[in-house]
Amino acid sequence: MLDLQRLRLLTELHRRGTVTAVGEALSYSPSTVSHQLAALQREAGVPLFERDGRVLRLTEAAHVLVRHADVLLDRVERAEAEMAAAAGAVTGVVRISVFQTATRLLAPVLADLSARHPGLRVETRIEIDQALGALERRDCDLAVVWEDEHAPRPRPAGLAFEVLHEEHMLLVLPAGHPAAALPHADIPALESAVWAGGPPGFGHGRTIQDTCRRYGGFTPDLRHHTADEAALLTLVAAGQAVTLLPELAHPERAPGVVVRRITDPPVIRRVLTVTRRASLSRPALATVRAELARAVRRDGAPDTDPP
């Protein structure tokens, strides 16, 4: 009989590439991972690994087993979720991968959940463009991600997506910038401006590039690379850059900056919750998703209305 936990170690080795990386991800020592993989090979009765120097490579038989292991682990997760649903208890651990700005939505929900469901433990970690990968690796149970409406994320069949919130992206300028005197966002006027944002081609940086190309017909000088909101606002307030930030970040509250809404048409991004379909019926997970959605409906759009 093949051990499910050892099968998970095999799938993690397939995804992560090294025994050390598997151990770090699952909080095991490398020797423990190696011992368990050796035990799995004995259970399987066929060679699963071969040495290539110091690297442990999977044989063709191991790749076959990985494909079946993914299905088995998915079925086990589905069974656990259905058993939990039958019991109806909102207990256990829900691990959430969330991007930085979305913690503004999540924080008050955590307080409510703690008060109403003392048997529920919610763990969070900040991810930048990594949350869906963490979800597929089973490193988390719920991902809160965002997407540009012009560049929606792929929808893998095993994941369930739900739109949580839609918001405008806002142009953030130094208070003394000439474009700050205009009543609207004038992207073409910023062709020679220095921009700050995430790395080019990814996430926030890609949104800035796409917006400048679509609205201004130019590729921005994206000189300062960070997705940290506080750092971006500091750079803008110091007159060193311009940027785009979402309404959730409330950039209008920062000193030394001016915020303008982009119109005709607006730049919209969507915030989504994503879970594995196998875990949809789990009461704890369903409760967290429902509370996030309820918080957004209750509070409405963020209270930013730039002039």
pLDDT given at position 307 = 38
224 and 285 share one domain: no
Q: Is the pLDDT of residue 236 over 50?
A: yes
Q: Provide the pLDDT for residue 272.
A: 93
Please indicate, yes or no, whether the overall pTM of this predicted structure exceeds 0.85. no
Question: How many domains, the chain?
Answer: 3
The answer to whether residue 134 sits within a structural domain is yes
Domain boundary among 63, 85, 107: 85
Same domain, 150 and 15: no
223 within domain boundaries: yes
Q: Which two tokens stand for residue 142?
A: 């719920």
**Where residue 303 falls among pLDDT bands split at 50, 70, 90?**
very low
Domain boundary among 58, 85, 112: 85
Domain stop point among 26, 61, 85 = 85
pLDDT computed for residue 188 by the predictor: 94
Q: Which of 305 and 86 is assigned the larger pLDDT?
A: 86
The range of the structural domain enclosing residue 220 comes to: 168-267
Judgement on whether residues 76 and 21 belong to the same structural domain of the protein: yes
Whether 67 is in a domain gets the answer: yes
Q: Are residues 256 and 193 in the same domain?
A: yes
Q: Is the pLDDT of residue 27 over 90?
A: no
Q: In the predicted model, what is the mean pLDDT of residues 7-24?
A: 85
Check residue 129 and give its pLDDT. Answer: 66
Residue 100 lies in a domain: yes
Tell me if 305 is assigned to some domain. Answer: no
Extract long-range pairs of 70-76: CB within 8 Å, 24+ residues apart. 70/11, 72/4, 72/7, 73/4, 73/7, 73/8, 73/11, 73/138, 74/158, 74/276, 74/278, 75/278, 76/4
**pLDDT of amino acid 284:** 92
Q: What is the CATH number of the domain that holds 42?
A: 1.10.10.10
Which DSSP string corresponds to the chain? ---HHHHHHHHHHHHH-SHHHHHHHHT--HHHHHHHHHHHHHHHTS--EEEETTEEEEPHHHHHHHHHHHHHHHHHHHHHHHHHHHHT---EEEEEEE-GGGHHHHHHHHHHHHHH-TTEEEEEEE-SS-HHHHHHTTS-SEEEEEEETTBPPP--TTEEEEEEEEEEEEEEEETT-GGGGSSS--GGGGTTSEEEESPTTSHHHHHHHHHHHHHHSS--EEEEE---HHHHHHHHHTTS-BEEEEGGG-GGGSTTEEEEE--SS--EEEEEEEEEGGGTT-HHHHHHHHHHHHHHHHH-S-S----
Specify which of 125-134, 135-144, 224-233 reaches the highest per-range mean pLDDT. 224-233
Band the pLDDT of 170: cuts 50, 70, 90: very high
Q: What CATH number should be reported for the domain holding residue 96?
A: 3.40.190.10
141 neighbors 278 (Cβ within 8 angstroms): no
pLDDT tens digits, residue range 156-169?
888 999 999 899 99
Q: 93 and 9: one domain?
A: no
Tens digits of per-residue pLDDT, 191-220? Answer: 999 999 998 888 899 999 999 999 999 999
Q: Return all residues near 290 (Cβ < 8 A) that are at least 6 apart.
A: none
Please indicate, yes or no, whether residues 173 and 260 belong to a single structural domain of this protein: yes
pLDDT of residue 126: 84
Task: Check residue 302 and give its pLDDT.
Answer: 41
The mean pLDDT value of the chain amounts to: 87
| In a shared domain, residues 64 and 36 | yes
Same-domain check for residues 279 and 222: no
